[in-house]
Structure 1
Amino acid sequence: MTGHRFSLSGAKLFALPSGALWWADEGLLAVSDLHLGRSSRIARLGGTLLPPYEVDETLAKLDAEIARTAPRVVLCLGDSFDDLAAADLEADHRLWLTRLMAGRRWLWIEGNHDPGPVDLPGEHLREMTLGSLTFRHIAEPGAGGEVSGHYHPKIRVAGPARPCFLIDTARVILPAFGAYTGGMEATRPPLSNLMAPGAIAWLTGPTPCALPLKGRR
């Protein structure tokens, strides 16, 4: 399996090129910031129209990762939907998502875009602690053993900025898993303030690589 192996609070984790996080010992696949329904929400608000395929792209990527890892647990780290109205999925998307949920535990962690339960199967939680790790949407300063999302970290090497994991000895911040999600430069506050000295950025995509955060601008 291609990816970046690292340990966090004793847990052996695997950052995957797709932007998902795999915890083999728990059979847990974590993804963050799917932002399903983003194009429809922007259209409802009268904004710039986006291609209406982001739900298909995101679910197809999630489907492929679930097929690859066969997780017992899928944990969605918040902002799974672009707002609560976007959780009212079209019938084919709801069926697709329900099929992915079948036979496994599915956890919805609330985010700032979807701060309440949605009308879908699964467990709806503010945050989740499993073993030595705590899963929440937004990183908390001073936390340890923390897995979070929210910021959609990206970093520029050459050409367009690329989504990345941010990893140090206390936390990992996941990139956005969803299509059309944008991102925040990883070397700028608040991300640079959250990450400890020695933190790395692990860039996702077809040519993943690790870079030190220190000294990058």
Structure 2
Amino acid sequence: MTAHPFTLAGARLAALPSGALHWADAGLLVVSDLHLGKSERLARRGGTLLPPYDTAETLSRLEADIAATDPRAVICLGDSFDDNAAARDLPPGAEERLLRLMAGRRWVWIAGNHDPGPASLPGTHLAELREGPLTFRHIARPGETGEISGHYHPKARLSLGGRRVSRPCFLVDTARVILPAFGAYTGGLAMDAPVLDALMAQGAVAILTGVRAVALPMRPAHARLPRPRPGSAG
């Protein structure tokens, strides 16, 4: 796992290739927009049918990050479930997997716009959380500093070997971090969308997820992904 380290408000953080954020000094792992139950919600509402494996895939990735970082606390930055019904009707075995992950550690559910937090599951349910120099909330607020948020599912669309590729990404400047969506099958908002351009300061970087976390300028004239090293996956 090749993470990208950076500092925000004096806190030493690391963007993980999975889309999670690790604050090792505080023993914190942060994820945003899990959207558990997305395929079930779409099917229930007559939308596009997706393979019903998104919850299992998302939990597998979360299990891997927890195993790798062994955090004392996990913060879920909102939209952990695709809606309240999805939180009540998890696929068989999903709730048990979540409870195993939660056992023995602090777990914070931040309320999102899709769900206020899964009331049936243990953990602390908050609108936002202040931890040391950092504030954790679902949606970024203009003018804030030391802010960690999600909501927008930022994605970078770049050129690689003559192909256009899209990858979820973190957006980072000196005041804030916006996390990518951690959930499988989630869409995304282009990192140059006006709402994100207005939130992020000049000099902001996009940290792309994938096999390794790769940092690029958020506003490059002609951004290109570095070519994979021989023998590495793209």
Q: TM-score, normalised by structure 2?
A: 0.90
- Aligned pair 1:106/2:107, yes or no? yes
Give runs of aligned pairs for residues 1-217 of structure 1, distance below 5 A. Answer: 2-88=2-88, 89-158=90-159, 159-216=164-221
User: 1:22-70: per-residue Cα shift (whole Å, max 9, x none)?
Assistant: 0011100000000000000011101111100000000000000000000
Amino acid at match of 1:21: L
Matched positions, count = 217
Contact 1:78 1:149 in 2 (8 A): yes
Query: SS where residue 165 of structure 2 aligns?
Result: coil
**After the TM superposition, which of the residue ranges 157-166 and 55-64 deviates more from structure 2?**
157-166
Amino acid at match of 1:53: Y
Query: SS where residue 59 of structure 1 aligns?
Result: helix
Between structure 1 and structure 2, the one with the greater Rg is: 2
Query: SS where residue 58 of structure 1 aligns?
Result: helix
Amino acid at match of 2:4: H
In percent, how many aligned pairs have the same letter? 65
Amino acid at match of 1:111: G
Q: Unaligned regions of 5+ residues in structure 1, if any?
A: none
Cα separation, 2, equivalents of 1:203 and 1:96: 28
Amino acid at match of 1:110: A
User: 1:51-91: per-residue Cα shift (whole Å, max 9, x none)?
Assistant: 00000000000000000000000000000000011101234
> After the TM superposition, which parts of structure 1 deviate over 4 Å for at least 4 consecutive aligned residues?
none
Superposition CA RMSD, Å: 1.2
Q: Unaligned regions of 5+ residues in structure 2, if any?
A: 223-234
Equivalent residue, structure 1, for 2:228: none
Cα separation, 1, equivalents of 2:4 and 2:118: 33
Q: TM-score, normalised by structure 1?
A: 0.97
Cα separation, 2, equivalents of 1:188 and 1:127: 25
* Alpha-carbon distance change, 12 to 207 in structure 1, aligned in 2, over 3 angstroms: closer
Query: SS where residue 194 of structure 2 aligns?
Result: coil
